[in-house]
Amino acid sequence: MTLQEYDYAQESPSKLAASCLLLALTMKNLGGWTPTLEYYSGYCSQDLHPLVKRLNFLLTYQPRDKLKAVRTKYSHRVFFEVAKVTPMDMLKLEEVLKSC
């Protein structure tokens, strides 16, 4: 989704990928940012927090008429229906990120 948004063009691809992973881990309640993830990504959890919040905001307030084909594709069970996963509440996300 960020490929269609100019606001994310200045972000490094590695930081964007790491932030997406942290958001996915948080959304699915699969744990936080581990020392192994920090070592291999080169980013500590606190470096990613602002971008994670922006990504969740993008998921929450993305107009449904944009990227319809992408949403349809990733709503299929072959792709584990990831397009149907509801974004986190912004306050809950903030609370979870503070504990990381």
Q: Give the Cα separation of 19 and 46 in Å (integer).
A: 10
Query: Which residues, 6+ apart, have CB-to-CB distance to 76 below 8 Å?
Result: none
Q: Domain extents for the chain? A: 2-99
- Residue 72 banded pLDDT, cuts 50, 70, 90: confident
What is the structure's pLDDT at 86? Answer: 86
Q: Assess if CATH 1.10.472.10 describes domain 2-99.
A: yes
pLDDT digits (tens, 9 = 90+) for 37-61: 999 999 999 999 999 999 999 888 8
3-state secondary structure 36-88: HHHHHHCCCHHHHHHHHHHHHHHHHHCCCCCCHHHHHHCCCHHHCCHHHCCCC
